[in-house]
A and B are shown apart, each in its own frame.
Chain A
Amino acid sequence: MQREFRGLNFDWITIILFLLLVGFGWLNIMSASHSGEITSYFDMSQPYGKQSVFIIFTLFLIVLILALDAKFYERFASIIYIISMLSLIGLFFFGKNVNGALGWYGVGGMTIQPSEFAKFATSLALAKYMSDLQTNMKTFKDQLKAVAFILLPAILILLQNDAGSTVVYAAFFFVFYREGLQQVYLVVAIFLIVLSVLALKFNVVVAVLVSAILIFGHHFFGQKKRPQIFQPIAILLVCILFSFGVKYFYNNILQFHQKDRISLWLRLEKDPTKLHDMKQTILYNLHESEKAISSGGLTGKGFMQGTRTTGKFVPEQHTDYIFSTVGEEWGFLGSALLVILFVALLLRILYLAELQKSTFSRVYGYCVASILFAHFMINIGMVMGLIPTIGIPLPFFSYGGSALWAFTILLFIFVKLDSNRINEW
């Protein structure tokens, strides 16, 4: 009764944050991509002009999404997922190869990247499956089924040589954990990550020693009811195998460029001449983007005044490295503000997700937050040299129609679901 204008009951905080990000992104794309005088904001020969058009189209898209009935998304989740998976499979036959990845359809003069759209499709499918009353995420069988929903697109995308986008799918772990995945998975996941880093950074012996101390320490002091001794020994054996596996994987399976990225991140290379070479080649983008960000100082050089941006010193600056433009031209104040905007958006989505009365909406909200967070963390972390180079866009910010539309759809389906929560029981 109190919500008479149900149709306008959207979460305006989310929408305003979204608009701020898109607008700020557009300004930075303009700065990073323009060459010569800016004659028209819709100059279709320039990336910023195209982005203007993408943004206009996005606004229509939002109206459409919000106009549809909230129930539509839950009802059609499976079909959307199937269509999305088919579009990924279709790439093997009709796809277009860009930068070594088979990830695009060419439609007229435009290209569309189905892997971007697969994220919201997977989220919808996952939300639908996990909200099913039959599903119990505490059982191993259902966990396995849920993982299957994720593995399908992840493997398809990996086969199309887009490892960066694949990594994002790991973010669904947060959704599973929220919905009842056992604590032990979290512990094991963290333990395995630490083990991998130790094995690569130092060597297998160190990794095994550390795990032995942890395992036996836990065995003798941690538990009241002590199980038999062969159990920790078996775990240790698994750890040893895993450590060797990581080492083997790093040395023999990873491709050179992937290996170099990890080597750089963990500071494995000590030879100064090789390091110098790396800085000129594989590290070039990172090196230039870090310099651009550093040179911004506290307040930045001002909009369109970045010397490194104007000189196009950072390759791919308007797409994956857009944050370096923010760093150079808007300085610490501008970049920190951008980080705060993202954090605010993510926390707002989480907050709204927890308010949802239907499991479907809650799970979907969690999926949105997880995916956006993965992109935010990987992209900005990479541009600032905190994590290895993984080329994925910064949501709402980087240049590109597919990514912008896919993230918009992802977010606004949730906005629509949220606006409808009063009617849910």
Chain B
Amino acid sequence: MRKLLLLSIIVIVGLVFIARLFYLQVYNEDPYSLFDDNAIRKVYDYPKRGYVYDRNDNLLVANQPSYDVMFIPREVKAMDTLEFCNLLKITKEDFIKFYDKAYRYSPRLPSVFIPQLSRIEYAVLQEKIRKYQGFYIQKRSLRDYQTTIGANVLGDIGEVNNYIIENEPYYKSGDLIGKQGVELSYEEVLRGVKGIKFIQKDRFNRDIGPYKDGIYDTLPQPGKDISITIDSKLQEYGELLMRHKHGGIIAIEPSSGEILAMVSAPSYNPNLLVGRQRSRNFSKLYTDTIAKPLFDRSLKAQYAPGSPFKVLSALVGLQENVVTTQDQFSCRGGYYLGSRRLTGCHAHASPLSMNQGIAQSCNAYFVNVYRRIIDKYDKPHDGMDVWSNHIKSFGLGDYLGYDLKIGNKGRIPDGDFYDKWYGKNRWSSTYNISNSIGQGEVEATPIQLANMVAAIANRGHFFTPHIIKKIEGQEIDEKYTTPNHTTIDKKHFEPVVQGMFDVYNTGTAYSLRVPGIDICGKTGTAENFKKIDGKTTQLTDHSIFVAFAPKDNPKIAIAVFVENGYWGSRFAGRIASLMIEKYIKGEVTMNSMENWILTHSLEDEYAKPYSGKPFGINRQSALQVIDKITKDTVINPISNRPSPFNQ
């Protein structure tokens, strides 16, 4: 027995050691990664981010260098904190706050300590940073906008958040990533691939040399330059016209689906979202809940489209063979079912056929056509589905598939929609006749409307709208070069186009004619309601206008939406005509029309519901006249009100 004591202890100790080794090295250890090894310094080399040009090769976005103070919490050693704080012009409390926050995020991964040093700060710190173990300076490239327009299109870059870091291994804390606009859509093209050097350190944080002679090191691959489809002159002009108004403009080249202009008002200067002020400015923009400058109205605002939608009712009627261009309907100031008036109308000649129905925008005409479509089928459910499918073939009622990452589906109801609402088969065409005139349950975004117009301009097909024109050394996605066909035969478009042409010649847009250009258009007005203090209140109608030009071989299709602008030709129509002239002629000759837009503001109209006082709408509201806005009027960050400090 005595022989066994030492023997068994030796065996037990051996087993305990092997168990401990297993625990430390196999059970408890994440797979080894150079990135987690604090004996290896990772030096990133950020490539140039790709430049952004407009369709005419004007440079819109370039780069500027920026320097971040980075640190790895667990590598920070005892140091002269006070001196360090003085260098960075921060307080000791800040120091502790930043440190603790980063430590909670991860003690072993690099975090940004102070982002985006000024050039002078960088010069001072560059020499001294080595003294502070765990801290280093990371060079990155920031955006340098060559323009003050197009914030909603160009977007911006900002620091990656933790969600992205956890889900996409490429990004490390402090990296910049596209947050909005084309920066977001084309992030991978623009950013390139950063290079990395692995450097062996010793325990005093000194570099010894490249790890394994640099076999794992990579060189940065520069980001690719891109051109976008925007015409910056047109975009700039659109933004100017939309000052002091809320709404959106989308202009599309029908033959290609390229987005020529994409205006969301109010807008802001993209330079606000660069540099150290970014987060402060961003939260200012973000918290402006009335003007909502970060809300891209051209892509996201979903409104009832109003009268422009009528042309689709006409097209579907022709395709379904329930109406001819010669069929006439009478209008007694509205549409009557028996003695009950279902919808009103304005004064015009009656009865009228399709051409004048469109030109005069007669509600009764389109309700009649709509009812014939739905009632052609035994069950209204089936009729509704047929109608809905035709409408959806114009890119309405679902995401359009363009290459910007925000948007809305809009809404085109079908049979199931009303079955759910009223009960199966417990409804008929008279329940939803407002759809025929773009009210009711129908909703669309400005870009969907512009695309719808492009499809009409092309007489039956459209190209998915897109913002990308060229990528350096790369083809653009072929879904943007393949036509999408609507369910309407080409021959049915001519009379409808002629009707839209007569809107300008004899109809509701007569006052908006542009000398020398054959424009086809359609005015629109949409009632709208807003919840104010929990009470649904009607506000002044939205002003809507869609158009394309020239009538033959169209170059531009446009949709303009001005919130609370009252009737269609008043704001939206004028803006559309000016934009068309600007694009096609390269200059604007209609000075008085331009002058009218630049001297009228809707700011008072927008302020009214928040004033707390009773207010009138539509006819009872007076137009606000202001000094003429020019290109050089500086916009303040919060909205497009001219800043009192800069005038």
Contact = CB atoms under 8 A, between A and B. Distances in A.
B24 A293 contact: yes
A386 B20 contact: yes
Interface string A277-293: 00010000000101001
Nearest to B2: A178
Nearest to A354: B3
A335 interface: yes
Contact of B24 (A294, A305, A313, A376): A294
A384 B28 contact: no
A343 B203 contact: no
A177 B5 contact: yes
A347 B39 CA distance: 39
B3 A310 contact: no
B5 A296 contact: no
Nearest to A377: B13
B37 A295 contact: yes
- Categorize the interface residue count of chain B: 35 or more
A350 interface: yes
Q: Of residues A308, A331, A342, which shows the largest number of chain B Cβ atoms within 10 Å of its Cβ?
A: A308
A182 B3 CA distance: 14
Interface in A143-177: 174, 177
Interface in B425-456: none
B212 interface: yes
A336 B77 CA distance: 34
Contact of A340 (B6, B14, B203): B14
Contacts of B347: none
Interface in A286-344: 288, 290, 293-298, 301, 305, 307-308, 310-313, 315, 327, 331-332, 335-336, 339-340, 342-343
A245 interface: no
Given A293-B25, A311-B200, A384-B20, A350 B10 contact: yes
- Categorize the interface residue count of chain A: 35 or more
Contact of B25 (A298, A369, A370, A380): A298
Nearest to A277: B78
Given A312-B203, A332-B22, A339 B17 contact: yes
Given A174-B6, A311-B201, A312-B203, A386 B39 contact: no
B301 interface: no
A364 to B, nearest CB: 14
A174 B211 CA distance: 48
A297 B32 contact: yes
Nearest to B212: A305
Contact of A308 (B9, B26, B39, B77): B39
B6 A384 contact: no
Contacts of B77: 280
B35 to A, nearest CB: 12
Given A307-B40, A311-B201, A313-B203, A350 B6 contact: yes
Contacts of A335: 21, 25
Q: Of residues A307, A347, A380, A381, which shows the largest number of chain B Cβ atoms within 10 Å of its Cβ?
A: A307
Contacts of A174: 5-6, 9
A380 B5 CA distance: 21
Nearest to B78: A280
B29 interface: yes
A347 B10 contact: yes
A360 interface: no
A393 B203 CA distance: 23
Contact of A384 (B14, B21, B32): B21
A366 interface: yes
Interface string A251-267: 00000000000000000
Interface string B73-104: 00001100000000000000000000000000
Interface in A352-382: 354, 366, 369-370, 373, 376-377, 380-381
Contacts of A293: 21, 24-25
Given A307-B37, A384-B21, A343 B14 contact: yes
A381 B32 contact: no
Nearest to A305: B212
B31 interface: yes
Given A177-B5, A178-B5, A297-B31, A288 B203 contact: yes
B219 interface: no
A301 B17 contact: no
B24 A311 contact: no
A346 interface: yes
B78 to A, nearest CB: 8
Interface in B1-47: 2-3, 5-7, 9-11, 13-14, 16-18, 20-22, 24-26, 28-29, 31-32, 37, 39-40
Contacts of B32: 295-297, 301
Contact of A332 (B16, B26, B37, B39): B26
Contacts of A332: 21-22, 25-26
23 contacts: A180-B2, A186-B5, A293-B25, A307-B37, A307-B40, A308-B39, A310-B208, A311-B202, A313-B39, A313-B202, A327-B21, A327-B25, A331-B25, A336-B21, A339-B17, A343-B13, A369-B6, A373-B6, A373-B13, A377-B13, A381-B17, A384-B21, A386-B20
Given A177-B2, A290-B24, A315-B203, 12 more contacts: A186-B5, A280-B77, A294-B28, A295-B29, A297-B32, A307-B39, A307-B200, A312-B202, A332-B22, A332-B25, A350-B10, A373-B9
Interface of B: 2-3, 5-7, 9-11, 13-14, 16-18, 20-22, 24-26, 28-29, 31-32, 37, 39-40, 77-78, 200-203, 208, 211-212
- Which 5 pairs across A and B sit closest by C-beta, in order of nearness? A343-B14, A307-B39, A332-B25, A311-B39, A313-B203
